[in-house]
Chains A and B, each alone.
Chain A
Amino acid sequence: MSAREGHTATLFKDNVLALDSGASLSPVNVGYMTYGSLNEDRSNAILICHALTGEQYVASEHPITGKPGWWERIVGPGKLVDTDKYFVICSNVLGGCLGTTGPWEVNPETGKPWGLDFPVITIRDMVRVQAALLDHLGVENLFAVIGGSMGGMQTLEWLTTFPEKLHSAVILASAARHTAQNIAFHEVGRQAVMADPNWQEGRYYEHAAKPDKGLAVARMTAHITYLSEDALTKKFGRNLQSRDSVTFGFDADFQVESYLRYQGSTFVDRFDANSYLYITRAMDYLDIAGRHDGRLADAFQGAAHVRCCVISFSSDWLYPTDENKRVVHAMNAAGVPVSFADITSPHGHDAFLLEEPEMDQMLEGFIATAAKARGL
């Protein structure tokens, strides 16, 4: 599919976006893409929520990297999320760096990029912006909201915050809270960014050099958490990179090192370091049960009419099966109709983006029967 120009909407012009932190933003720009068209009943809209380093280009070429859409395997004409049938919306999250207001954008009050003056945001704040975008698009309610990883966290917050706008929801490889280990890995990534002298307390926008080294290290660390030991062993083992023996130095002797360095170096071309800080922080702050005295089920009381599907992957140690099951048990206790499977996969957390026939089969059955129930 060829590159398509994205859209930008300017929201919260006359009112403000009240954030969980107590701060507020006005206006808020949102970069987004749509695929397919809204039917006459306005009943066929699907919102896709992207993960930490994703964006709105779910089914079309990325404008910077030129790579195909990040979920073209699932979203497109005749695909599992069929854009001939459904109106698919995907927007860059609040705090992101591809068209949506974030720390890189100019603060209207100072005329300079926000940097660290940008308010700290939450997953629920991202969802509030998405809800405002739907109002702007004339979409009153959604046939489905679908998301994996941080996209799944947004989907969960849709269920807690705007359940009345939902018919069904799909949550893949996700969690309703960040554990100590999740926070720990994110902190390593943030410290790597902040330790880069080019970061300059977040004021690098005014300089030629960006904190690329720090951000690359952050990405390398995070990337390990998206895979599994088995996947790494299968893919790289102890294989050497274009050499016959180790060099007794600190070059990338091993293929896995070379691979991670490449992942890090390409990431900095498409992502803003401060955005990375803000979005990882939003994920760390996620603790849906914490808002309900530890009772996660209470968060889903308003969602008993929403058809839900939760999928975890056996080798995912970032958002493991048990964290997904916690969500499922809470939904059950709240009377939310939910299906769940733990797909056996060697691919770790990234499995949700990869070819997983059992996942596809489950999603296909879920979406088809949910559509039937809505008369689509």
Chain B
Amino acid sequence: MTNSLRPDLKLIADMIEPKSRVLDVGCDDGSLLSYLVDEKNVDGRGIELSQKGVNASVAKGLFVIQGDADNDLNEYPDDSFDYVVLSKALQAMHRPKDVLINLLRIGRKAVVTIPNFGQWRVRFDLLTKGRMPVTKALDKTWYNTDNIHFCTIHDLFDMVAEENITVKDFVPHKHDGTRLNMGRRRANWHADQALFLLEK
């Protein structure tokens, strides 16, 4: 094993066909892209907001542009990638629906993961405490969180249906990346996070 990858990123990597073109939106330090380049021979590119993340990615030999998904995705041509990855960032977008549509304009497929606000602990927290939930997956208070557009698994299914987007694969999982073998209704109660493989 030349490359060990965080389990939740491994779930994403498993969705990507070898030798494809991949854009990772919010690529952080380039861990996922670097793994995909080394292990799956992909042509990988990234977008990252932080200078630290850009520098770490460039030092890995990756090609990463400093920018944000809300603005910079518009500049990419149609169908320029096989996959566009957006990992746990949709809820931080100003216009999540536009971003999602953009992902599938730029890429043939999109791999999107979300923290699930419908998970029972979150619901229980809000029900019993009456305050915005702070959990392991959602660890910031309401006023300092980057996450401004929370959704549940049901919510995302609804939105993609509205836009006639096909869900090719759906992988609900725990915070540590353990897969949960269950349908969307049970997953909406139990999963900390969920991965969606989307196609136009």
Contacts and interface: CB of A to CB of B under 8 A. Distances in A.
A binds B: yes
Interface of A: 307, 309, 325, 328-329, 332-333, 335, 337-344, 358, 361-362, 364-366, 368-369, 372-373
B59 interface: yes
Contacts of B60: 365, 369
A340 to B, nearest CB: 4
Interface stretch (B61-69, B111-119, B140-148, B165-173): B61-69
B77 interface: yes
A362 B72 CA distance: 20
Nearest to A364: B59
A344 B61 CA distance: 22
A361 B72 CA distance: 24
Interface in B131-149: none
Interface of B: 45, 51, 54-55, 57-67, 72, 75-77, 80
B51 A332 contact: no
> Most chain-B CB neighbours within 10 Å: which of A309, A337, A373?
A337
Contacts of B72: 329
B36 to A, nearest CB: 15
A358 B61 contact: no
B59 A369 contact: yes
B58 A369 contact: yes
B75 A343 contact: no
A295 to B, nearest CB: 11
A358 B55 contact: yes
Given A337-B45, A342-B66, A362 B58 contact: yes
A373 B61 contact: yes
A343 B51 contact: yes
Contacts of A365: 55, 58-61
B54 A362 contact: yes
Nearest to B53: A341
Nearest to A365: B59
